[in-house]
Structures are given as structure tokens and as C-alpha cells.
Structure 1
């Protein structure tokens, strides 16, 4: 308690914090900060606006349902979300052999790999054996082209993009948590003011796509999607929870998210996983001083995601109608913090720096070789270069 003129007043750490409100805020922040990235990623691999909207809807439903189940079952503030790094990976994919059905097939494979990881711990160990610097460098390379959009679009179309960038800048100084949601709100307002939106396309709906499998899609999308989801979402999610004193039921969580990914894939969902950033909001002091009641935050967050699912078609319609590069700029701003973190982690270890830099450059290049995208080749190049340099150092006199 803090004494003010002889009268007690609740400290800032405890005043006004309760689990229900924390869960609602976490869900709104998580959703609004990344939905445009999800839509961009699904569209990049061949989804129509209707199919992308369906994917956004099913991601909200599967993540919300899984989170509700885990929170109530374990009385733990376990937070689930869609894979934002995975969506960014899709957004940099320049085309898929077999089109959208092949992309959906790769989502199924990624989910199946997560299920297998739950059943076969050694597979998880194999993913964990990928040097963290290279995994983060691959993610940074994937994000870099997307994060250039605010600069490029601001120069090309300043009248349309400037309100979004300025809103982000002001809120970053005054209320950092709301900077990205505020920028996205400014972008959507710009769309409403300048674009002609078809009201008939605003109703939510699910669109079924029968999965199709091609080798290039499995290697170029499914494997990188699995790796980036495990390394950049699931593993950090466990670490965040442990930092607040909670133990995540690892294998059950992987099973739930893997099944959710497989079930949601035909409707367009690419992957769900443990959350990291929103996990900190639900499991930390924002959810109240009583740790035994913070699981309620995950419940209210899950319900909020189910409610937000209804907005999927409307948001997809607005994004599709957006003028210029306003939504691309908003997506780049949304990913800027993740890029900074990935760069810092990938280049921190001097002994891994050359391999990490090579991984980053290849991932950012966007090249496609043999129908397989840059993210896969980036990891291959990084691992080979790392091995070569380690061997050279080991045999040097």
C-alpha cells in the first residue's frame, strides 16, 4: 500500500487489476495487433478474401475453444493464439505449387507434426536442437520485408498512410500496449472513409477447402511453419509461463493445438499455439494479485476470441478494400517489435553471428528454388555454414 497524506491508497501494481478485464484486454490486444498479418499471409498463399476471412474465424474459434478447455481443466492461465510468425512466413511466400488447396494441405501437415511432437518427445528435442540464433534469424529474415512496408508506403502514398504511422508513433510514446491496435484502428478508419465497402460481404461464414498435398508445399510451407511455430511461439510460451510460476502441461498443450490446427486447416486456419505476449498479460500482475485466480483471465480471453470471430468477414472485407498500402504499413508496424526482438536474439552470440546473418539474408531474399520458399533454404544455409565454421575452428592449429 502507498501512503498519501496519511490515507492508504492501493499501489499501481494492484489497483484496478482483475482477471476478467485482463483476459478481455489481452485478447483484444492480441487480435487487433495481428489479424491483418494473418489475412495477408493467407492471401499470399492463394486464399480469396472469403477464404482468408474463414481462416481468421476458425483460428479465433479453435484458439478460443482450446484455451477455454485448458484453463478450466488445469486452473492455469494458459493462453493460446494463432501463429503470428507463421502468418508472417506465409505473407512472404511468393506462390505455392498447387495453389490454395496445397497451402491448406501444408497446414494439415504442420498440425500433424505438432501432434506427433506431443506423442514423440524426441521430435521436440530435434526442434530444440536447432540453434536458437538460427531460428530467430530465419524469423527476422521473414519479417524484414514486411517491416519495410511502412517506409515504402509512406513515401509512395503519404496522405493515406501518414495517419496510421502518426497514430502508432503517438501511442508508442503515451500508451505502448495500444500503439499497434491504435494504428490498425486508424488504418481501418481510413478504409471506411476512402473505400467502397460491400455490406453484403460482412456476414461471417466458413469456407471449406479440400486439402491437397504437394512435396514443394510440404517442404516449403509445412516444415518452416512447424519450426517457426514451435521455436518462436510454443517454447517461449512455456518460458513466459514458468517466469510467472506456472507449469504448462506440455504434451497435452501440443496435442490440443495440433488437433486444433488440423481441424481448422480445411476452413483456412494455418496454425494455433501457445501464446507468449498475451500469456504475460493473463499470467502476470495485470490479472490480479491472487495467482490462484488468474486462470479466469484465460477464460475471459477465450470467450472474447469467440466473440471476435464474428468480426472476421467484416475485417477481411475492409482489408481487401483498403486503398494504397495502408494495411501493409499497419502490418509492418505490428511486426516491428517482433523483428527487433528476433534481431537482438539472433545476433547476440558472436560465435553464431555469421551463420545467423546468412540465415537472415537468405530468408529476407524471398527466393524460391525448386518450388520451395526462402525460409526453408535459409535454415539449410545457416545450418551448413554453422557446421562448416565449427569444423574449421575445431581443426585449426
Structure 2
């Protein structure tokens, strides 16, 4: 029994060595850079909006990086598929406006609730059943409402600091035409160069240091679970895990969805006390690694998933350094790059929300309630937008009467 493990390890190493390619390695590194160039800046924004300490922010970055790295490597090896995982971008967007409403231990409790729910849905297949009863237009309208302020801030920053924002926007638009996958990375580089030239980059605040993870004992409050945990679970499943599975299927990978979702849910459970708001399947960065750019042979593209995961692990160990670098950025640079990184998601969410005439009014009400920013009983507007959309849809389509009729029929 003891001798079988070395043989298995040697076989796995030999397989990886045989399948290795420089193109897959480079693509995996690029996917990691895209994650840190855009989505991580939104995490930074959420932390600053909630006045999270630098120590907790460093631990947060460490937790989501380590979780993404380990799951990407493990799942890519297990299924010989480029399974790219990441932290929940729409979840981070949700936190920008909601995290400050709750004590941090309560937020950790909400993270644990969300992770447990995602794990349960991944294991049982319950997610598919639930989503059948919630029109996609409503969930995408909720996401669009959450994302809207980020798009607006791009142009607010253009007025506040045009010398920085305008070159970034122009670079983004040109790159979208000629090299769309790397538009965010190029725009970030232009922004950094412009900030340096203007003397707006606080280089003196940057420090190189390994992260010291901070364990936060969770507290569970009904307000945080309803206002943060439930919306976090919904947007993660609907806007990350579902598209992530679609990306794999679009490139011909018939990987079972339940183990992937369950694994990321378990990783989220374990790392939530260290600040991880959610680990999930990636969509945008996954598309970078699942295509021909990684390797002409689909069976050898899983190396890109391993490379991406290994890069996450390296970056995660320097979470404190990453946090200090982001602290040195001008706030306008962060606002512009975060908004640009979410342009595609905002556009597709709006198109999807308003694309179904039968659910258009329900989606519109969801969108308007979500962007209103209302808070009722300590519960944020994202949840109330979802509730308003579901109720509106039920009233307009007669689903309430159908449900009551089915209840009477079953009771008789």
C-alpha cells in the first residue's frame, strides 16, 4: 500500500511533464493577472468602504488566493480539464455597498452561511431546481443593479482626474478592438504609468511582506444572513458558477458540475473565517484558458489551470504586499479600472435582463429597487430587489394563482 502512492505521484508528474506547454503556462499566468488587475481591486474597494483594517484585508486576499489556487490545481488535475476558479466578483461588488452595514464577525457568519448553502446545492443538485422558479431576467437585473454604480464611477472619475481616466478609457476601447482579452490589463498598465508621471502614485507606502492570516470568530445574525448571505449565495451561483460551467461546456468539456461547485463551496467554508467571501468557478478568466490559445489539443489545456492555480498561491503569500500596492493607487485609478473590468458583465446583465419581454417589467423593478440602495430592517437593497422582482413576476404571470391552486389540489 505504501509503495502505490509514489508510483501514482510519479505517474501524475510524468503525465504533467508530457502534457506541459509554454503556451498553457503563459495563458494561465495571464488569467491570474486579469483576476488581480480587475476583480481584486473590487475586493480592495469593498474593504475600504467598510473600513476593514490592513491586516484583515491582507488575510482576505490570502484566503481567496489560496482557495482559488488549491481548487484550480486540484480540480484541473482530477478531471484533466482547465478548471479555473476564482473569488466571487459579483459577491465583492455586493460587499462594496453592504459590508459596512454589518460588524465584520457577522459578515463572516454570512459568508459561512453562503458557503454552506452553495456546498449543499452543489452536492444535491438543488441549485438547478431553485433557479427554475426564478426567471433569469430577475437575477441578471439584480446583478446589473449591483454593477451599475461601478460603471458610473468611471465617468465620475473622468471629471475628477481626466489626465488619468481618459488615457485608461481610450486604451481600454482600443484594446477591446484589437486584443479584447487583455484590455483590462493594458488599461491598468496605462493607469499606473499615468499615475507615476503625475506623481499620484504613493510609492513610499509599498512594503514587501508575507501575509499573516487572521482568524475571525464568526457571529451569526439574521440581518446579515438575509441581507448579505442569501444575496451572496445567489449572485455567486447565478453569475459565477452557472456561467463557469457554460464556459467549460462551450469548449467541449463535459465535466460534472456538482463536484466542481461542491469543492469550491467547501473551500469557501474552510477559508471564510480568514476573510474569504466566496470561492467559485471563474467565467471570464476561464475562457482565456479553455480555448485554443492555451493549446491546440483540448486534452492538454488543463496545464493552464494548474499554472493559474500555482500563480494564485504565489500571489496569495504576498497578500500584505498586494494590499500596500493597492493603497498606493489613486482612488480614481481604482474606480476606473474596477468599472472597466465590469463593463462586459454590466452590458450582458442589462441585455439579458431586458431581453425577455415576458419578464421585462419584473426585471425593471428588480433593477430599480437594487440601485435605490434602500435598507429595510438592516437588509440591503439587493435582497429586496430580488424579492420585488419575484413578487412582480408572480403577480403579472399568475404564478401565485397557479401555486395556490396546486396547493388546494394537493391537499384534497
How far, CA to CA, are the matches of 1:199 and 1:297 in structure 2? 30
Distance 1:190 1:214, change over 3 A: farther
Residue of structure 2 equivalent to 1:226: 233
How far, CA to CA, are the matches of 1:390 and 1:165 in structure 2? 42
Residue of structure 2 equivalent to 1:3: none
How far, CA to CA, are the matches of 1:56 and 1:104 in structure 2? 14
- Among 138, 153, 160, the residue aligned to 1:134: 138
Residue 381 of structure 2 corresponds to residue 374 of structure 1: yes
| Greater per-residue helix proportion | 2
Residue of structure 1 equivalent to 2:251: 244
Unaligned runs of 5+ in 2: 1-20, 403-412
Aligned to 1:73, what secondary structure does the other structure show?
Answer: helix
How far, CA to CA, are the matches of 1:65 and 1:128 in structure 2? 31
How far, CA to CA, are the matches of 2:195 and 2:110 in structure 1? 32
Residue of structure 1 equivalent to 2:43: 38
Q: 2:46·2:99 contact (CA, 8 Å) conserved in 1?
A: no
Q: 1:45·1:95 contact (CA, 8 Å) conserved in 2?
A: yes
What is the CA-CA distance between 1:224 and the residue it aligns to? 0.4
How does 1:251-290 map onto structure 2 within 5 Å?
251-290=258-297
- Among 49, 53, 58, the residue aligned to 2:54: 49
Aligned to 2:82, what secondary structure does the other structure show?
Answer: coil
How far, CA to CA, are the matches of 1:45 and 1:124 in structure 2? 33
Residue of structure 1 equivalent to 2:11: none
- Among 210, 213, 223, the residue aligned to 1:216: 223
Q: 2:205·2:327 contact (CA, 8 Å) conserved in 1?
A: no
Q: 1:233·1:275 contact (CA, 8 Å) conserved in 2?
A: yes
What is the CA-CA distance between 1:29 and the residue it aligns to? 2.0
Residue 171 of structure 2 corresponds to residue 167 of structure 1: yes
Q: 2:164·2:195 contact (CA, 8 Å) conserved in 1?
A: no
Aligned to 1:367, what secondary structure does the other structure show?
Answer: coil
Distance 1:61 1:189, change over 3 A: farther
For structure 1, which segment, 26-35 or 105-114, has the greater mean C-alpha deviation from structure 2 after superposition?
26-35
Residues 278-321 of structure 1 deviation map (CA, whole Å, 9 limit, x = unaligned): 22222221121111111111111111211222443223223334
Unaligned runs of 5+ in 1: 1-15
How far, CA to CA, are the matches of 2:321 and 2:193 in structure 1? 13
Aligned to 1:194, what secondary structure does the other structure show?
Answer: coil
Residue of structure 1 equivalent to 2:324: 317
How far, CA to CA, are the matches of 2:24 and 2:51 in structure 1? 39
For structure 1, which segment, 362-371 or 134-143, has the greater mean C-alpha deviation from structure 2 after superposition?
362-371
How far, CA to CA, are the matches of 1:111 and 1:63 in structure 2? 14
- Among 58, 76, 84, the residue aligned to 1:79: 84
Q: CA RMSD in A?
A: 2.3
Residue of structure 2 equivalent to 1:105: 109
- Among 74, 90, 98, the residue aligned to 2:95: 90
Q: Give the total of aligned pairs.
A: 379
Residue of structure 1 equivalent to 2:405: none
Aligned to 1:141, what secondary structure does the other structure show?
Answer: helix
Residues 229-264 of structure 1 deviation map (CA, whole Å, 9 limit, x = unaligned): 000111111111111111222221122111111111
Residues 318-339 of structure 1 deviation map (CA, whole Å, 9 limit, x = unaligned): 3334334221122111111110
How does 1:183-198 map onto structure 2 within 5 Å?
183-189=187-193, 193-196=199-202, 197-198=204-205
How far, CA to CA, are the matches of 2:99 and 2:68 in structure 1? 27
Q: 2:69·2:313 contact (CA, 8 Å) conserved in 1?
A: yes
Q: 1:96·1:102 contact (CA, 8 Å) conserved in 2?
A: no
Residue of structure 2 equivalent to 1:336: 343
Distance 1:267 1:394, change over 3 A: closer
Residue 71 of structure 2 corresponds to residue 66 of structure 1: yes
Residue of structure 2 equivalent to 1:301: 308
Q: 1:49·1:320 contact (CA, 8 Å) conserved in 2?
A: no
Aligned to 1:47, what secondary structure does the other structure show?
Answer: coil
Distance 1:344 1:177, change over 3 A: same
Q: 1:355·1:386 contact (CA, 8 Å) conserved in 2?
A: yes
Aligned to 1:171, what secondary structure does the other structure show?
Answer: helix
| TM-score between the two structures when normalised by the length of structure 2 | 0.86
